[in-house]
Structure 1
Amino acid sequence: MAYVAVTALSHPGLLRERNEDSLVVGPWTLCATVTESPQTLFFPLGAPLVVAVADGLGGHPGGDVASALVVRRIASAGPALSSEDAVRDTLSACNRAVYQAAGGDEGSELAAMGTTVAGIVVQPGSLLVFNVGDSRVLEASPDGLRQLSVDDSPPLEPGQRTTSIVTQCLGGSPTYRPIRPHVAAAPLAPGDRYLICTDGLTDPVLTEVLEEVLRESDDNRAAFELWKAAIAAGGPDNITLAVVRVVDE
């Protein structure tokens, strides 16, 4: 019987006062948590299984509120996320919900709260990859890492490796803005492995380090070592990640 193993961890990092990241794995959510030990969940490969991270916008009040709202709505959508259109519709509904929760008033305490989101929907034989913002979905293979998500960020200047600017997110402005989610289908086979993470991991940690850890470690060890690498690099932001593997017994 084929199954999906998901190993996840979420941590505020070393410089942020609180964790504004959230995570959804199937019906389960983690919001504003502090975990240094990876947790692993197992699911039969069958009904669509969603795994996603949401990164509340730093510098805006309510980033944790926005990210938690989004992952809980995605979790409630559950197995209905079986097509690209269903994922797009759900993300657009999440965007509207963030604006509604912000109050629609520039004087509101939550005005301009927002969040990125990135994740996958796993089902037999196929994978749906989605994102809005700069959180990432990466495929890990013997040949290295391949980014499947599309960063919503401006072009980098020469010599610049990262940027904290996003050109699209859920919420994030005083007045409503529609989104154009990135959603794509890909084939899925037993043995496939994916890393889903917020930029608290990919900004401070070089791609070469991510590749080495995933190549040399099992899922539980990889999640821990990736977190450790982000902390060793200064832990400048919240760190949330999930390692997803499809296993055929």
Structure 2
Amino acid sequence: MPYIAVTALSHVGLIREHNEDSLVAGPWTLCGTVTENPQTLLFPLGTPLVVAVADGLGGQPAGEVASALVVRQLASLGPSLDDEAAVSDALDMCNHAVYSAARDHPELLTMGTTVAGTVVLTESLLVFNVGDSKVFDAAHDGLRQVSVDDSPPLRPGQRTTSAVTQTLGGSHTFNAITPHVTARALSVDDRYLVCTDGLTDPVPDDELDGLLRAHDDGRAAFEMWKAAIAAGGPDNITFALVRLAE
């Protein structure tokens, strides 16, 4: 009987004072905290299962509040996310919720967050994002990004950028979003990596690919975290490996 294995980790890194990342896996959320070891959760295949990360905007107030609000809303809406339109509508609701919370509490003004994730359905998988958190297809023939970065074009020789062109919240006045949502076929042993840029900025894609090829989920998660820390751990590190198994 097929099932979904989700292996997740969230860590503050070596530079930041606190963790502004949040994560959702089904009804389970992890907000602004630290996991010392990868945690693996198993879910039955059937009811839509949302797995996502949210990265609170640095340099603006209460990023951890915005990211937590979004993943908790996605946890609540998760079982209803059965097609692309439902996911897009849910992200619009999250955007409105962030702006509403900031409007009601002046100390939260301009708080915002990115979000990226997957919804596992019985025979397919939905990929979504707003901002520059990422989703990768960790296929046997190589790691491929399947999310769409909301970032300005990179200059020659530039590998990463912290600039984003759309987020949930993040402005003094309301800005509508255009979520990226796509559907993909799903089969047993497919594996996806959902992550904030605290993993992908310091660790190149080819190094992540090598670690995912070499190790199973729990060990791969640990080794990817170690690689980000060895590269200086410049940001919060949050990610989940999503695998369809039987």
TM class, shorter-length: over 0.9
List alignment gaps of at least 5 residues for structure 1. Answer: none
Measure the CA separation in 2 of the matches of 1:163 and 1:44: 38
Which residue in the other structure is 2:202 paired with? 204
Which residue in the other structure is 1:161 paired with? 159
SS of the residue corresponding to residue 108 of structure 2 reads: coil
Which residue in the other structure is 1:40 paired with? 40
Which residue in the other structure is 2:221 paired with? 223
2:132 alignment partner, one of 128, 131, 134:
134
- Superposed CA deviations along residues 74-131 of structure 1, whole A, max 9, x for unmatched, are 00002100011100101000000000101268xx211110000000000111000000
List alignment gaps of at least 5 residues for structure 2. Answer: none
| Contact preservation (8 Å) 1:36, 1:224 | no
CA, structure 1 residues 168+104, in 2 after alignment: closer, same or farther (shift >3 Å)? farther
Which residue in the other structure is 1:100 paired with? 100
Matches within 5 A, 1:1-249: 1-103=1-103, 108-248=106-246
SS of the residue corresponding to residue 224 of structure 1 reads: helix
Measure the CA separation in 1 of the matches of 2:59 and 2:104: 19
SS of the residue corresponding to residue 128 of structure 1 reads: strand
Identity of aligned residues (%): 70
> What is the RMSD of the two structures over their aligned residues, measured on CA atoms?
0.8
Alignment: residue pair count = 246
Aligned-partner residue type, residue 134 of structure 1: D
Moved over 4 A (4+): none
SS of the residue corresponding to residue 152 of structure 1 reads: coil
| Contact preservation (8 Å) 1:104, 1:175 | no
| Contact preservation (8 Å) 1:12, 1:238 | yes
- Superposed CA deviations along residues 31-66 of structure 1, whole A, max 9, x for unmatched, are 001112000000011111000000000011110000
SS of the residue corresponding to residue 103 of structure 1 reads: helix
| Contact preservation (8 Å) 1:152, 1:168 | yes
Q: CA deviation at 1:240?
A: 0.2
Measure the CA separation in 2 of the matches of 1:244 and 1:104: 36
- Superposed CA deviations along residues 176-225 of structure 1, whole A, max 9, x for unmatched, are 00000000000000010010000000001011110000000010001111
SS of the residue corresponding to residue 96 of structure 2 reads: helix
Q: When the two structures are superposed, what TM-score results if normalisation uses the length of structure 1?
A: 0.98
